[in-house]
Amino acid sequence: MAGSKTPDTPLEAQTEHARLVEQIRAHDERYYQEDAPVVSDAEYDALRKRLVEIEAKFPELVTAESPTQKVSGGVSEKFAKARHGVPMLSLDNAFDREDVSDFVGRVRRFLNLKDEEIAFTAEPKIDGLSCNLRYEKGKLVLGATRGDGEVGENVTANVTTISEIPHTLKGRNIPDLIEIRGEIYMSHADFRALNERQEKEGKPVYANPRNSAGGSLRQLDPKITAARNLHFFAYAWGEASSEPSDTQFGFVELLASWGFATNPLMKRVTSMDEMLAYHREIGEVRATLGYDIDGVVYKVDRIDLQRRLGFVSRSPRWAIAHKFAAEQAFTVLNDIDIQVGRTGKLTPVAKLEPVTVGGVVVSNATLHNEDFIHGVDSRGNPVRDGNDIRIGDTVVVQRAGDVIPQIVRVVVEKRPKDAKPYTFPTVCPACGSHAVREEGESDRRCTGGLVCPAQAVERLRHFVSRNAMDIEGLGEKQIQAFYDWGLVREPADIFTMERREEGSLSRLKNREGWGEQSAANLFKAIEEARRRQVHRVVFGLGIRHVGDINAKRLMRHYRTIDALRAAALAACPPEDGNRADKGNDEWQELTSVSGIGDIVAHAVVDFFQEPKNEKALSALLDELTPEPMEEAAQDTAVAGKTVVFTGTLERMTREEAKAQAERLGAKVSGSVSKKTDIVVAGPGAGSKLKQATDLGVTVMTEDDWLSLIGQH
């Protein structure tokens, strides 16, 4: 293939030549007739380049049928054929500075220029489909696709629906007969909207704006074309009864004056440096244009020089396309790797057969999450085109700017027969703990917070932070260093560090940044931390959704970590989706703690039920003698009373009222029963108020309540 040695023997050459011709023919058909390519432009270009190399070495293989001698395209039987007045040709490609320099050198040599300056136009190369528009006496009489370059498809009815194609030309210097050429394209915004509509209607989505422009133009019903909002940039002429202009630049200005849309980025340049600078500048604004371009085109500006330069086989000598490094490429997905982030999130990464994309070799791409691989999100909506991604699949990778490479499409046609749907792991690949996915979330997370090496540094940093264990002298930097030195791997290690190895203190103090005094201060701070309040320890465990407030709520209720752990181990959440199931008593109790809902309760249960956390937690608790939380007040008017809030509270939020009541020793409940002591009813109170009156429970207003607790 491209890049490898050209064949030595005529037989080898003939075999490879025949294979390339067939491949190119098949790709042309998919591209031009079906608007559904299966290889990238770069891969296609490589096949053609290889063919040119072989034909250069074995000229006897060049026949009139060779793709090097013909313009690709071809016409569909759907449309009447239309012969172009003058053939529509193709452009040679340049990929780097050297190719551009060769082009300029060829032009100068051919024209025998000495030191004279030569001007070129430079303009974006629109990634659409070229079109030939025939005007007679200023009236549009024929619109045709490029086809094979000689004969295209008659799509007059379709092109007349494009607002940027005038039906009548106005202005000066309009030849009696002129063929106007340009590019029909679709904007990114219209492309996205079209694909969304197609998807909703269960129709196939288009791979890219160029294919969708092709598909939209080549419709038997022009009303469909009309609804697709296609655009057109005019840039050249074909047959003409008189020469409209003597420069390329002047001609494009004329086109604009006749009523065509022309590309505002066209420029006149007179040196290699200017050409390359233009290529760079357009590359930089490429992503902001709102339509696809795949390079820039340089054209000799003077028409008389263009005429002298003429053509070689399928392309003019006076123009060249300077392509951008392809931003998309086809490659094979060899494997899927699961990476665990610092917070326990499992991210799938595509291991790709290395491929050059946008000038960089790409071998990894993000796969985002489980749903992205499955092609369906948790609500059942399709992701991408709804196809799942399997190991062995051929995929399209995209790399735009500095963005992490993405997989934009799966080529399902190329899927190996034995490819199996990917099963996302439910255990963490870094530590073997369970990895769970919460309802409504797209990420799966490791629950082994205390033991997972991928999360260790982040967890330790959180564990010692201000609102948790608050160990002075042990910040992010020190934790990282201790981890790297192997001194601390999990929370308990912080407390065993000093005694673990004799001389640990001296080991530390000889390390960079540690002196005798700072080491002694650190160990003193660690000693003090053994008696931190219990809710700080719980917060420090880093249980998902258990911030310092929820840690307080839990500990106010359970008092000790052992009690919380026992409850979490015994708790049995209701089975998914089963409304009648309310879980067991421990679950009921856990979710009745004020402020603790199902999501938090699930996270607590997941954490304690993960066996890997058990060992680390026991080791930690062996080292600590946590202070209990301050007792709820005993001597207040509401201590020991069960209170229910109902209706709207006007002076504080329900949450705040609950927390305050609990601080004052009251128990807050969500339902009224015989055990209820007080119901605080605001405006809008309904059934609970009625129940209270029926049961003879004391009912009061928010203001009454506030005076009762001395807040008035």
Residues forming contacts to ligand IVH in the complex (CB under 6 A) are 89-91, 123, 125-126, 130, 183, 235-236, 297, 316, 319, 321
- Per the DSSP assignment, residues forming a β-bridge with 318 are none
| Burial of 94 from C-beta contacts in 10 A (0-12 / 13-18 / 19+) | buried
Active site includes 299?
no
Least distance in Å: CB of 243 to ligand IVH? Answer: 16
User: Residue 92 and residue 51: Cα distance in Å, rounded?
Assistant: 14
CB 530 within 8 A of CB 627: no
Tokens of 505: 């203190």
- Please report the DSSP string for 641-691 in residue order: -EEEEES--SSS-HHHHHHHHHHTT-EEESS--TT--EEEE-TT--HHHHH
Residue closer to ligand IVH by CB (options 20, 126) is 126
Q: Which is nearer to ligand IVH, 90 or 211 (CB)?
A: 90
Output DSSP code: residue 29: I
Q: Which residues pair with 350 in a beta bridge?
A: 336, 365
The tokens for 134 are 């025939």
Beginning with the edge strand found earlier in the chain, give each strand of the sheet holding 267-269 in spatial order. Answer: 93-94, 319-323, 293-300, 120-126, 267-269
Bridge-based pairing of strands 93-94 and 267-269 is: unpaired
Nearest distance from C-beta of residue 227 to ligand IVH, angstroms: 24
Least Å from the CB of residue 299 to ligand IVH = 7
Is the CB of 269 or the CB of 407 nearer to ligand IVH?
269
CB 320 within 8 A of CB 92: yes
The residue type found at 447 is T
Min CB(125)–ligand IVH separation in Å: 4
Q: Which is nearer to ligand IVH, 236 or 431 (CB)?
A: 236
Least Å distance between CB 52 and ligand IVH?
15
Name the token pair of 197: 């509509």
Residue 143: enclosing H or E segment and its boundaries? strand 139-145
Phi first, then psi, for residue 114 (nearest 5°) are -95, -95
- Is 128 or 682 the residue whose CB approaches ligand IVH more closely? 128
What is the sign of the dihedral through the CA atoms of 462, 464, 466 and 468? positive
236 vs 387: CA distance, rounded Å:
41
DSSP secondary structure letters along 394-419: EEEEE--TTSPPEEEEE-GGG--TT-
Specify the residue, 261 or 419, whose C-beta has the smaller distance to ligand IVH.
261
Structure tokens at 302: 């003077």
What residue number has its CB nearest to ligand IVH? 130
Nearer to ligand IVH, 291 or 463 (CB): 291
Cross-strand bridge partners of residue 178: 135, 240
- Inter-residue contact 339 to 359 (CB < 8 Å): no
Q: Which of 5, 57, 78, 125 is catalytic?
A: 125
- Least Å distance, CB 25 to ligand IVH, is 18
The answer to whether residues 153 and 145 touch, using CB atoms and an 8 Å cutoff, is yes
Across-strand partners of 533?
A: 627
Length of the chain: 712
Best CA proximity match to 214, nearest among 293, 168, 268, 158:
158
Choice between 91 and 543, CB closer to ligand IVH: 91
> Among all residues, which ones are annotated catalytic?
125
